[in-house]
Amino acid sequence: MAYIKLLFREIKKHFVKLITITLMVAVGVGISTGLGSMSDIMDDSIHSYYKNIKFPDLIIKSTSNEGHNQAIFDFLDNENVLYQSYIEYDLDTKRIHYVNFDNYKLIPLELLDGNYPKNRDEVLVERETLRLKNYKVGDLITVNGVDYKVSGIVFNPFYFYKQDIPSYINQDININTILYFDISNFEPIGNIKTDIQIYLDLDYKKDYEESVEKWIEKLSIFENIKILTQNEMISAKALDMNTNKVRMIGTIFPIIFTLVILIVVVSSIESIIEKDRLILGTFKSLGIGRTKIKFRYHLIILIACFLGGLVGVTLGFEVLSKFVYDTFSTVFVMPKIVLNTQVEVGIIITVIMTLVMIITVEIMASESLNEKTAELLRKKAPKPGAKIWLEHIPFIWNRLKFKHKSSLRNVFRYPINFFMQVISILGATALVFAGLSLLDNVKVLTDYANSSIETISYIVIVCAGVLSILVTYNLTNMNVENREREIATLKVLGYKRGEVAMYIYREVFIISTIGILLGIPTGYLIDGVLFDYIAFGSIEHVRYISIFYTLLLSYSFIILSDILLYRKIHQIDMNGALKSLE
Amino acid sequence: MMRTYIKALNLSKIYKVGEVTTHALKEVNFEIQEGELVVVLGPSGAGKTTLLNLLGGMDNASDGILLIDDKDISKFKEKQLTLYRRHDVGFVFQFYNLMSNLTAKENVELATEIKKDALKVEDILKLVGLENRMHNFPSQLSGGEQQRVSIARAVAKNPKMLLCDEPTGALDYETGRSILKLLSDIARNQHKTVIIVTHNSAIKHMADRVIYIKNGQIDKVEINENPMSIDLIEW
């Protein structure tokens, strides 16, 4: 019972750290879940839609003026394949379809307004998009010198991409009007069918490419045909490119985020255990088993990881995924989202983080517990003060003010801590910068994948920002907690509130500045790898102002942490300076 | 001409923790003359630390008056208390409280930095006998040497009063004696009011004035007309 009580007190004592660790786990898991599962969600949603409307897997275009040979239809009938044939050609910026309105076997037109044509002088028009012109029912459209009246507006799912539709004749020409006539309008009337859409009813997850490849081989016996796969159909191709970039970004960023978070969290745990030496010693002297002693930390970790994982998975999946998915509708007519609860990524990241933290506790706590109990009960002698490398450059050192010398010595005193702190700030800064660089590229480049990258930039920037705040807050907080006695002493000596705070802030500022300044070149490195990997963007397009924004954000976070922790510094009791070293 | 430097009138301190009320000091009255070496004696829990906190400007009294140098510091606000600690008090800690990454000299500079009429750091380190150790870090100094740095830090601010919390508590017998010798020299030669708070009753013979404190009250006050030199005191 007393043990349980103690555990609760433990949690209370490390509450701020528990919360920061929880939030960091949540950020890592959230971004991993949100971005990591995004491409799968898109694939699932889009392919279930493809199946619903029977989106063609192949299109066979005839390269002869006579259209398709009857043999090919016989072959398809014989193979029992679902297909529909129609006539399609481009005329300048217009694309003209002749279809059989009464008999859709696949990918049906959806009537949005008006009616199907009743007379020969009536026509259906594809709905307005970012590139297709706006027509209303009753408008007149001239084709080959003949006026046709718009009887209805339709949506052809084949054109769910709202951006450029290049002409078949000349890739540089963009189609701005798509017209649908009844097949009976076509003159000369005959058996000419220029296009065949084929639906193969495949499972996109199971050897899709191979199955399609087999069909192409089977069809290769026919002459004068050109076969388009989905990858050559503009909408599917554009979406596929988007999905791929989302997949790549969704791999790179979660990895970097997770690494940075692990560094911060591990150093946090180290400082908790370091601070608890006396408690470890007391427990050991009372004969409490190692496992039981270590369980205190495992409990904190399990709570933090469980809550962080839960919040991260929920937010990442329910909010981030849906948000990213929704933004695709700016350039695609996106089907309803299919959420096949893709939480594996989030769970894997949570488990990795938990394991790393538990291992840290095992190593750190065991190291402490291996010391003699008497040693533990004594406070670890502070590392002796020592000269730092800068002092060997009298030119600089002698010019520094006393308080700056003191801060610099403190900063470089514990090289491992210093390294970890710099790395964590560096990582967070680099991520903010990478997000901003992506955004810069979106503004300069036009790419089929633009919209997805734009949204993901924002989100990366936001998550990196949150991470950066947490890292800075954690760093400042650790600095305050490790210095309680020094702070109390300074207060007794008559240092004013601001002067005491500056004593802490100055060091955090030095560490952060080193981290931030190294973070920007590191951000450039990440950019280099990222741009290369996703085949999008270039470092040249990254604007210098993004460096400025990164600095602005990073320093704002430092100031924010300083403000948040000002009270804590102020509340440190001067009596702490009178007590013995415990 | 001696003058009264400290005067406590019905000074009380009450701590409230939840529903528990503790009278740490109950209507305490005493006086201390300028330039005196004072020993405040009492067992632990008697209210010594509370008195130290009030004299040192680290806490406010709940009631009563605490005149120091003709100012009633019991009514001081936080900012005034900070300035009082900065200018008027030199604090010597039981556990020295040196910054481990600063050299002896730099630790003293930590105090002189914030005081305009501070004394020369080198002179003070010479006074405490550390002129050859000033570039050493605390870890390179013995306990007694560290306490000397702490005293140097307190004196260097050129305060009117030194407040010492069990200054020999962490030191061995001989070293403790040398520290007490230093403190009494400072009181005699630098004309500082030196207050030593301790539970070691043996050192009372070196004081001009001994204030006995018990259960939050002044038990008695003794005046030594002829304080003994520390060299003659054994315990």
Residue at A77: amino acid letter: D
Q: Would you state the pLDDT for residue A355?
A: 95
Kindly state the average pLDDT of the residues A128-152. Answer: 91
Q: Would you state the pLDDT for residue B132?
A: 92
As beta bridge partners, residue B4 has B33
Contact assignment for A492 to B101 by CB distance below 8 Å: no
Which of A440, A483, A431, A481 has its CA nearest to residue A459?
A431
Residues A48 and A64 in one domain: no
Phi/psi for A445 (5° steps) reads -95, 145
Asked if B65 has any chain A CB less than 8 Å from its own CB, the reply is: no
Q: Can you tell me the distance from the alpha carbon of A297 to that of A354, in angstroms, rounded to the nearest whole number?
A: 12
Identify the closest residue of chain B to A484 by CA–CA distance: B97
Q: Is residue A405 assigned to a domain?
A: no
Asked if B158 has any chain A CB less than 8 Å from its own CB, the reply is: no
* Domain encompassing residue A559: 414-582
**HEC readout, chain B:** CCCEEEEEEEEEEEEEECCEEEEEEEEEEEEEECCCEEEEECCCCCCHHHHHHHHCCCCCCCEEEEEECCEEHHHCCHHHHHHHHHHHEEEECCCCCCCCCCCHHHHHHHHHCCCCCCCCHHHHHHHCCCCCCCCCCHHHCCHHHHHHHHHHHHHHCCCCEEEEECCCCCCCHHHHHHHHHHHHHHHHHHCCEEEEEECCHHHHHHCCEEEEEECCEEEEEEECCCCCCHHHCCC
B176 token code pair:
């403790």
Residues A126 and A144 in one domain: yes
Burial class (CB in 10 A: 0-12, 13-18, 19+), A409: buried
Residue at A440: amino acid letter: D
Q: Is the pLDDT of residue A383 over 70?
A: no
Regarding predicted confidence, which is higher, A339 or B226? B226
Phi-psi region of A104 (alpha: psi -120 to 50; beta: other; left: phi over 0): beta
Asked if A498 has any chain B CB less than 8 Å from its own CB, the reply is: no
Q: Are A321 and A34 in contact (CB under 8 A)?
A: yes
If you ran DSSP here, which 8-state letter would residue A315 be given?
I
Domain stops at, among A355, A380, A405: A380
A470 token code pair:
């947490």
Identify the closest residue of chain A to B56 by CA–CA distance: A492
Residues A83 and A167 in one domain: yes
Residues ≥6 apart with Cβ < 8 Å to A37: A250, A316, A317, A321, A342, A343, A344, A345, A346
Identify the closest residue of chain B to A494 by CA–CA distance: B86
Out of A406, A493, A497, closest to residue B102 by CB: A406
Neighbours of B190 (CB within 10 A): 14
pLDDT band with cut points at 50, 70 and 90 for residue A402: confident
Residues A45 and A65 in one domain: no
Residues A19 and A68 in one domain: no
Q: Is residue A400 assigned to a domain?
A: no
pLDDT band with cut points at 50, 70 and 90 for residue A194: confident
> Closest approach of chain B CAs to the CA of A495, in angstroms?
7
Out of A386, A489, A578, closest to residue B94 by CB: A578
If you ran DSSP here, which 8-state letter would residue A112 be given?
E
Q: Is residue A260 assigned to a domain?
A: yes
Phi/psi for A448 (5° steps) reads -60, -25
Q: Can you tell me the distance from the alpha carbon of A120 to that of A109, in angstroms, rounded to the nearest whole number?
A: 19
Residues A576 and A484 in one domain: yes
Count of the separate structural domains present in chain A: 3
Q: Can you tell me the distance from the alpha carbon of B112 to that of B110, in angstroms, rounded to the nearest whole number?
A: 6
Q: Can you tell me the distance from the alpha carbon of A368 to that of A381, in angstroms, rounded to the nearest whole number?
A: 14
Q: Is the pLDDT of residue A351 over 80?
A: yes
Q: Is residue A393 assigned to a domain?
A: no
Where are chain B's structural domains? 35-60+87-232
Q: DSSP strand E in A119-190: where?
A: 122-126, 140-143, 146-155, 177-182
Q: What's the start-to-end Cα distance of chain B, in Å?
A: 34
Residues A182 and A257 in one domain: no
Q: Is residue A316 assigned to a domain?
A: yes
Contact assignment for A386 to B137 by CB distance below 8 Å: yes
Secondary structure of residue A182 in the 3-state scheme:
strand
Residues A47 and A61 in one domain: no
Residues of chain A in contact with residue B111, where contact means CB-CB under 8 angstroms, are 493
Asked if A577 has any chain B CB less than 8 Å from its own CB, the reply is: yes
The pTM of the full predicted model, rounded to 2 decimals, is 0.81
Q: How many helices (H) and strands (E) does chain A have?
A: 18, 10
Asked if B106 has any chain A CB less than 8 Å from its own CB, the reply is: yes
Identify the closest residue of chain B to A503 by CA–CA distance: B110
Regarding predicted confidence, which is higher, A69 or A429? A429
**CA A555 to centroid of chain Cα atoms:** 24
pLDDT tens-digit readout, A21-31: 999 999 999 99
> Closest approach of chain B CAs to the CA of A499, in angstroms?
10
Q: What's the start-to-end Cα distance of chain A, in Å?
A: 26
Q: Can you tell me the distance from the alpha carbon of A330 to that of A328, in angstroms, rounded to the nearest whole number?
A: 5
> Closest approach of chain A CAs to the CA of B164, in angstroms?
10
Domain stops at, among A335, A361, A380: A380
Residues A265 and A368 in one domain: yes
pLDDT band with cut points at 50, 70 and 90 for residue A582: very low
Residues A217 and A73 in one domain: yes
Contacts 24+ apart (CB under 8 A), A498-506: A499/B114, A500/A569, A500/A570, A501/A562, A501/A566, A501/A569, A501/A570, A502/A403, A503/A403, A503/A407, A504/A476, A504/A479, A504/A480, A504/A565, A504/A569, A505/A476, A505/A562, A506/A403, A506/A404, A506/A407
Phi/psi for A556 (5° steps) reads -60, -40
Q: Which helix (H) or strand (E) holds A60?
A: strand A58-62
Preceding peptide of A188 cis, ω within 30°: yes
Radius of gyration, alpha carbons of chain B: 17
Q: Please, what are the averages of pLDDT over each run of 10 residues along chain B (235 residues)? A: 88 88 91 94 88 92 94 92 94 89 90 89 91 90 92 92 90 88 89 91 91 93 89 78
Q: Can you tell me the distance from the alpha carbon of B102 to that of B104, in angstroms, rounded to the nearest whole number?
A: 7
> Closest approach of chain B CAs to the CA of A475, in angstroms?
20
pLDDT tens-digit readout, A44-95: 888 888 888 899 999 998 888 788 888 899 999 999 999 998 888 888 899 9
Q: Are A184 and A48 in contact (CB under 8 A)?
A: no
Distances (CA, A) of B201 to A285, A343, B77, B235: 34, 71, 35, 9
Residues of chain A in contact with residue B93, where contact means CB-CB under 8 angstroms, are 489, 492, 577-578
Secondary structure of residue A339 in the 3-state scheme:
coil
Which segment of A182-196, A550-564, B9-23, B220-234 scores lowest on mean pLDDT?
A: A182-196
Q: Is residue A390 assigned to a domain?
A: no
Residues A17 and A66 in one domain: no
Residues ≥6 apart with Cβ < 8 Å to A173: A90, A92, A93, A166, A167
B35-60+87-232 placed in CATH 1.10.287.130: no
Q: What is the residue whose two structure tokens read 């010693």?
A: A281
pLDDT tens-digit readout, A506-542: 988 999 999 999 999 999 999 988 888 877 788 888 8
